[in-house]
Amino acid sequence: MSQQSDTPAAELKNDRYLRALMKQPVDMTPVWMMRQAGRYLPEYKATRAQAGDFMSLCKNAELACEVTLQPLRRFKLDAAILFSDILTIPDAMGLGLYFETGEGPKFSRPITCAADVSKIGVPDPEGELQYVMNAVRTIRRELNGDVPLIGFSGSPWTLATYMVEGGSSKAFTKIKKMAFAEPATLHALLAKLADAVTLYLNAQIAAGAQSVMIFDTWGGVLSPRDYNEFSLQYMARIVDGLTRHNEGRRVPVTLFTKNGGMWLESIAATGCDAVGLDWTINIDEARQRIGDKVALQGNMDPSMLYASPERIEQEVATILAGYGKGTGHVFNLGHGIHLDVPPDNAGVFVEAVHRLSRPYHV
């Protein structure tokens, strides 16, 4: 079932997002939001209740498609992002993913030693993870060329933190203990995850994803030396192995490391097309450092969406001015939208980006 999608990329009615990632001219700055399909929308909560639980929602292609499209019905977003979870790969590796109310994801069989690493295999994207590819195919069909579809994965390091810690963590003591006391074990796990992510993202592209993004949520907990050793080199390996052209168009890849502002040059040097920025760096500085090499995505503080419409517009204007004239900027939040943000405020944000960015593209 790894057929190509029915709708050629050339037929996109709005390719602003893809053009900006390729640093091609656009009429206005494209915008989408991390976690744009999610708990801040009442219609999402209703669909999740219908599914029964979070993973059942992810594994139902029709319902995953429905929640992917919900924010696009409300807002004039320039891209859709696959509704899924970064922990699909570890789940398919047999670690026993489950969710505790109020505590986030947990694994009943975490990775504790080299023997555990040797037991896990690289999942078949059209086997154990076929439900993700079915969702990609369904979403791509239902989008009908309105906007591009973004596929994604967690980075090997970020996936490994959950697999070794057994869930979310604040201090990351278990995985850092493995990194420093048993580095060969962690490198074996990261190499296996890099292979799995490469296969997974390429399968998403074959199923219809027109751009892909790697979320390195926890790369920022590492020192500069350890970031290169345990996170960045594995993301670079994935970038090298990705399908970069499909359906007659380049498939751009974006790398996002939360709290990774000090390493922008190294991230840009991986061969990615865009670097995602969180809100802890000024976008003008980021553009000065790497903006001529790659596109930039970001970077409003998600908490700004609690502010008044006037304050949201002011922040949008400040970030647009910081980036300055020309293409190569995809506007986004610096991380995922918070679950209690009023949807109307997200609408103010999207509209302001489009309206206020036009003068920067004449």
Closest alpha carbon to 130 in 88, 162, 98: 88
Helices (H) and strands (E) in the chain, counts: 16, 11
225 carries a ligand binding annotation: no
191 carries a ligand binding annotation: no
39 carries a ligand binding annotation: yes
Catalytic residue among 17, 40, 44, 162: 162
Decide if 237 is catalytic. no
Catalytic residue among 48, 141, 244, 249: 48
Catalytic residue among 15, 85, 216, 278: 85
Cβ atoms within 10 Å, residue 199: 19
Decide if 39 is catalytic. yes
204 carries a ligand binding annotation: no
Catalytic residue among 35, 137, 140, 287: 35
Catalytic residue among 39, 109, 237, 244: 39
Asked whether the CA dihedral 171, 175, 179, 180 is positive or negative, the reply is positive
Rounded Cα distance, 239 and 194, in Å: 10
Helix (H) or strand (E) segment spanning residue 66: helix 61-74
35 carries a ligand binding annotation: yes
38 carries a ligand binding annotation: yes
Asked whether the CA dihedral 56, 61, 65, 66 is positive or negative, the reply is negative
Decide if 48 is catalytic. yes
Decide if 74 is catalytic. no
Contact between 142 and 65 (Cβ < 8 Å) = yes
36 carries a ligand binding annotation: yes
Decide if 85 is catalytic. yes
240-261: buried (b, 16+ CB within 10 Å) or exposed (e) per residue? eebbeebbebebbbbbbbbbbb
The C-alpha angle with vertex 279 and arms to 274 and 281, in degrees rounded to 5, equals 75
- Which residues make up each annotated binding site for substrate? 35-39, 85, 162, 217, 335
Question: Which residues carry out catalysis?
Answer: 35, 39, 48, 85, 162
Annotated binding-site positions: 35-39, 85, 162, 217, 335
